[in-house]
Amino acid sequence: MERTLIAHLPQAIGQKVKIQGFLHTLRDQKTMQFLILRDRSGMVQVAFYKKANPELAEQISRLTNESVLTITGTVVENPIVKLGGLEVQLETLTVESLAEAPLPLDPTAEVLPSLDYRLDWRFLDMRRAPVTAFFEIQTTLEMAFREYWLQHGFVEIHSPKLMGSASESGAELFEVQYFDTKAYLAQSPQFYKQMAMAAGFERVFEIGPVFRADPSFTSRHMTEFTGLDMEMSYIESHEDVMRFLENMLHYVYQRVAEKHAAAIEAHFGVQLEVPSVPFPRIPMAEAVEILKREGYTLPPEKKGDIDPGGERTLAQFVRREYNHDFFFLTDWPWTVRPFYHMRHPDRPDLTRSFDLIAKGTEIVTGAQREHRYPILREQAIEKGLSLEPIQFYLDFFRYGCPPHGGFGLGLSRLMMVMLNLPNIREAVFLFRGPNRLHP
Amino acid sequence: MERTLIAHLPQAIGQKVKIQGFLHTLRDQKTMQFLILRDRSGMVQVAFYKKANPELAEQISRLTNESVLTITGTVVENPIVKLGGLEVQLETLTVESLAEAPLPLDPTAEVLPSLDYRLDWRFLDMRRAPVTAFFEIQTTLEMAFREYWLQHGFVEIHSPKLMGSASESGAELFEVQYFDTKAYLAQSPQFYKQMAMAAGFERVFEIGPVFRADPSFTSRHMTEFTGLDMEMSYIESHEDVMRFLENMLHYVYQRVAEKHAAAIEAHFGVQLEVPSVPFPRIPMAEAVEILKREGYTLPPEKKGDIDPGGERTLAQFVRREYNHDFFFLTDWPWTVRPFYHMRHPDRPDLTRSFDLIAKGTEIVTGAQREHRYPILREQAIEKGLSLEPIQFYLDFFRYGCPPHGGFGLGLSRLMMVMLNLPNIREAVFLFRGPNRLHP
């Protein structure tokens, strides 16, 4: 007998079905037993008249919550049942997996334990409807990104995560024992997606893990996260990259809204707004002026940069002035950007770069890259890098390389912003931080 | 002016266009110069009458092959031109990036240097049309997998690659310095996709990197590769997983054939066959008998296993008897499978497992998993594992877990088989092996 998903039971009234799922709750009454069975698609009430089979009734009495059951029975209309006005009259029961009691974490409880404890028992925490919904939404979101990329002629790549030398800087690198030598975990696919530009691929994307040995414990940082990266050739400036990005996000939000607007409101209390394009753009110099006017004082030690508090203040300003959740912070000073960002020809102190701030959180960093070998080499020297470990990268630009740019976007940061989650640890399958490598 | 892709020039006859790409070749004649420009979509001849602008003619004379150019000009029909019967009459030229000469690897050369040398200069090797085509085909193939998964209710996950303890066995693990402790690179998402089953996700997939500290130097092994993994709940046996897999591969091959059959024939000399379903299934016991009849002697040290030579012999048998490139080798002995494979209830010496062999190469390993905690624990002990490092995994099965199964497929192995490539190093963006961490 084929399994019927609980969500499809209204189409099976009067029929015999097989349903499978977790025992959400059991009400064991004098003459009747009511089992609420939960599968990925929903919940249903299963009813059993104890006198029909006292032995089976006794077996049901012994069932523990969260046990996995296979039940066959007949679907009947029952208007007084809250769950869809129907119930399944139990005929047979198979216990696929009996849950131990007590549960270390009860996914049906009203009051949740601490986040840290929930992460310890993440697989039980994940049985809660909002968490299940989270991953369905993320699945749609990622697929929408890929659809958009494919519609625009992009090629997918999987760049290596094991590197023979440091990618961007020596800091925040994880070191790997690699046979009798050392390797490093890639901090981003940056060098490799640029390699694809030198290879003439013109447009590439990658969704994959990114590793940062960052010891910070904020609600926005992880030591391993999923990056959405792209790079495109034959751009005129970073403006082309921003235009591509905002149109893509508009498309992605639309796809998510079409499919999940109701679930997002139900589980996260968020009315999903599809952001209008273009997004506001604020050059850094102007941002500093705005912060002054708004009465926000930037910390002196981060000269040329804007701290998270400043980003939030700017976000409030943008919300007020432009009625928008997103804005681009553009043209960052050369002093706070990596060596491979292209400088403005007429303002070498500024780069053709941008961050995308969403609801006050930075979710994207992007730029036009410097593709001219002699200038790139000079910029690396100016930043005090030793050339030998990055020569393999510098070589990409010696034999013809198109002008290009791109960005990296943090998947969990975007999901966190979209669903108004307070902590990135709730916006990832399994969180990794300086103190957490389990489960 | 917007850029026109070279492939779109036939729709622009008589118009002024901007084209951008690599200088494939230059023929510098007495009165005329002919530049072949190459972009991702194709090649076109650009003509320049030297007397029109002797200064520009001199600049063109100095151009090196593989330099990146922006050219504007008028598209004219010219039936004697082999490349599409048209040419672009050059009006302006901008050198975006002048290539150094000589090139360490000439992507237009007829004779290729050694594979190892090509990997050193992979970005130049990638400019060759078959390599570009390879990644376009792979992009379609991966997207087809995801389409199929989404059509069948799967959720996408990104499981952590940094683990606090070993995943499957202690062997072939890469160790990472993780702040003041040690981490390990995941050898597969096995434990985590099973965690998603315990979480009630029912159906999940992941495409991501997999790390194996395998010191072998064969044409099929890499220390880092892209795995396509899936897991599905509420199966009856491994047969459900095989059925899902063969239908999915049928769909994927169809999508690739629709889009790339001509390119695959042109660049790889392969007439792509969409495999018919069902694929033949051969239980291991029968396979051993077939090998005996075929006169193939299995090496004595791999008792219960079948070596690559045996797999190739069986593939020839299947090709001859069933006219098929694929077959499932099923019901492997317990002695050669990991502890979490489910055993046959009536034959505890055999597992509910399979490999998928394609053109003689193993590309998939799959099984129904043991989801019953006490049995799983016993099986781990029987395999001599210490329970402490895997207790977090064993815990997944203590609080209700649906019966489930799944598989892992190697992306490069599938591409290698599909395109008849002799070596997996040509079937990956950047190869990683015991001796290779660069570029």
What is the rounded distance in angstroms from the CA atom of residue A352 to the CA atom of residue A356?
14
Picking from A127, A202, A400, the nearest residue to B66 by CB comes out as: A400
Q: Where are the beta strands (DSSP E) in B234-296?
A: 281-283
What is the share, in percent, of chain A residues with pLDDT greater than 90?
Answer: 95
Interface probe with A: pick from B399, B413, B437, B438, most Cβ of A within 10 Å: B399
Which chain B residue shows the shortest CA-CA distance from A104?
B399
* pLDDT confidence band for A58 (50 / 70 / 90): very high
| ipTM of predicted complex | 0.97
Please indicate whether, in this complex, the C-beta atoms of B100 and A398 are within 8 angstroms of each other: yes
Give the tens place of pLDDT for each residue, A20-47. 999 999 999 999 999 999 999 999 999 9
Alpha-carbon distance B140 to nearest alpha carbon in chain A (angstroms): 9
Q: At what angle do helices A411-418 and A238-268 cross, to 10 degrees?
A: 50
CB contact under 8 A, B201 and A403: no
- What is the CATH architecture assignment of A6-97? Beta Barrel (2.40)
List CB contacts (< 8 A) between A183 and chain B. Answer: 174, 437
- Asked if A228 and A145 touch (Cβ cutoff 8 Å), the reply is yes
User: Rounded mean pLDDT of B120-143?
Assistant: 98
Distance from CA of A399 to the nearest CA of B (A): 4
Q: How many CB pairs under 8 A join A and B?
A: 257
Q: Tell me whether residues B158 and A223 touch, CB distance under 8 A.
A: no
Quick check: B336 and B365 in contact, CB under 8 A? no
pLDDT of residue B167: 60
Binary contact (A429, B223; C-beta < 8 A): no
**B72-76, Cβ contacts within 8 angstroms, sequence gap of 24 or more:** B72/B1, B72/B16, B72/B17, B72/B18, B72/B19, B73/B16, B73/B17, B73/B19, B73/B46, B74/B14, B74/B15, B74/B16, B74/B17, B75/B9, B75/B12, B75/B13, B75/B14, B75/B15, B75/B17, B76/B13, B76/B14
- What residue has token string 């009536």? B346
pLDDT of residue B337: 95
The SS3 of residue A126 is coil
State yes or no: pLDDT of A323 exceeds 90: yes
Instruction: Give the closest of B97, B138, B164 to A156, CB-based.
Output: B138
Query: Hey, are the CB atoms on A156 and B136 less than 8 Å from each other?
Result: no
Q: Which residues are CB-neighbours of A329 under 8 A, at least 6 positions away?
A: A282, A283, A284, A287, A306, A311, A314, A354, A355, A356, A357
**Residue B62 clears pLDDT 70, i.e. is over it:** yes
pLDDT at residue number A300: 84
End-to-end CA distance of chain B: 36
Q: How far is A68 from chain B, CA to nearest CA, in Å? A: 5
- Residue B166, pLDDT > 80, answer no
Looking at chain A, which residue has its C-alpha nearest residue B435? A179
Reply yes or no on whether the pLDDT at A168 is more than 90.
no
In the sheet where B361-368 sits, what is the strand order?
Answer: B155-156, B203-211, B224-233, B404-410, B361-368, B353-358, B326-330, B281-283
Q: pLDDT-derived band of residue A302, with 50, 70 and 90 as boundaries? A: confident
B231-267 pLDDT, tens per residue?
Answer: 999 999 999 999 999 999 999 999 999 999 999 999 9
Distance from CA of B62 to the nearest CA of A (A): 14
Interface test with B, best of A19, A70, A155, A399 (most B CBs within 10 A): A399
- Confirm or deny that B35 is annotated as ligand binding: no
pLDDT at residue A169, as a whole number: 63
Beta strands in B83-190 (DSSP E): 86-97, 155-156, 162-163, 175-178, 181-185
User: A231: which residues sit within 8 A by CB, 6+ positions away?
Assistant: A193, A194, A196, A197, A203, A204, A205, A369, A404, A405, A406
Q: Which residues contact A215 (CB under 8 A, 6 or more apart)?
A: A434, B179
B246 neighbors B279 (Cβ within 8 angstroms): yes
C-alpha B126/C-alpha A155 separation (Å) is 13
Binding site as annotated, residues of A for L-aspartate: 168, 212, 365, 369
**Is the predicted pLDDT of residue B170 greater than 80, yes or no?**
no
pLDDT recorded at residue A188: 94
A161 and B161 in contact by Cβ < 8 A?
yes
Query: Could you tell me the two tokens for A116?
Result: 């840290």
- Confidence (pLDDT) at B57: 98
Considering chain B, what percentage of its residues have pLDDT values greater than 90?
A: 95
- Over residues A404-430, mean pLDDT: 97
Q: How many angstroms away from the CA of A176 is the closest CA of chain B?
A: 4
pLDDT tens-place string over residues B320-332:
999 999 999 999 9
Rounded Cα distance between A30 and A259, Å, is 43
Q: What is the pLDDT of residues A127-147, one digit of tens each?
A: 999 999 999 999 999 999 999
Contact between chains at A199 and B123 (C-beta distance less than 8 A): yes
Min Cα distance A243 → chain B (Å) is 15
B411 known ligand binder:
yes
The residue among A158, A233, A236, A376 with the most chain B CBs within 10 A of its CB, best to mutate, is A158
The torsion of the CA quartet A35, A38, A43, A48, rounded to 10 degrees, works out to -20
CB-based contact B200 A402, cutoff 8 Å: no
Map out the domains of chain A as residue ranges.
Answer: 6-97, 129-426
- Inspect the interface and report whether the beta carbons of B392 and A439 lie closer than 8 Å: yes
Backbone dihedral region for residue A346 (phi beyond 0: left; psi -120 to 50: alpha; all else: beta): alpha
Question: Any known ligand binding at B413?
Answer: yes
Question: What are B227's strand-pairing partners?
Answer: B208, B410
- Please state, in angstroms and as integers, the Cα–Cα distance from residue A145 to each residue in A244, A342, B143, B259, following that order: 12, 26, 12, 21
Q: Is the dihedral of CA A413, A419, A425, A430 positive or negative?
A: negative
Task: Please give the distance of CA B20 from its chain centroid, rounded to a whole number.
Answer: 29
Taking contacts as CB-CB distances below 8 angstroms, the residues of chain B near A158 are 209, 226, 411, 428-429
B111-136 burial by CB neighbour count: b if 16+ within 10 A, else e? eeeeeeebbbbbbbbbbbebbbbbbb
Strands A203-211 and A86-97: what pairing?
A: unpaired
Is a pLDDT exceeding 90 seen at residue B304?
no
The pLDDT of residue A383 is: 94
Tell me the fold of B129-426.
BirA Bifunctional Protein; domain 2 (3.30.930)
State phi, psi for A351 to the nearest 5 degrees.
Answer: -110, 160
* Dihedral sign of CA atoms A255, A258, A263, A267 in order: positive
Give the whole-angstrom CA distance, residue A90 versus residue A70: 10
Q: Do A438 and B392 touch (CB under 8 A)?
A: yes
Buried b (16+ CB within 10 A) or exposed e, A264-279: beebbeeebebbeeeb
Of B169 and B208, the one with more pLDDT: B208
Q: Which amino acid is at A7?
A: A
pLDDT at residue B367 greater than cutoff 90: yes
- Report how far residue A253's alpha carbon sits from residue A246's, in angstroms, rounded to the nearest whole number: 11
Give the nearest partner residue to A40 out of B104, B200, B208, using CB atoms: B200
Question: Residues of B with CB below 8 A from A157's CB?
Answer: 135, 429
Q: Name chain B contacts of A400, Cβ cutoff 8 Å.
A: 22-23, 66-68, 97-99
Q: What mean pLDDT do residues A296-319 have?
A: 91
Q: What is the mean pLDDT of residues A260-283?
A: 98
Residue A166 is predicted with a pLDDT of 72
CA distance to partner chain B, nearest, from residue A203 (Å): 9
Name the average pLDDT for chain A.
96
Q: Which backbone phi and psi does B188 adopt, to 5 degrees? A: 180, 160
- Write down the pLDDT at residue A167: 60
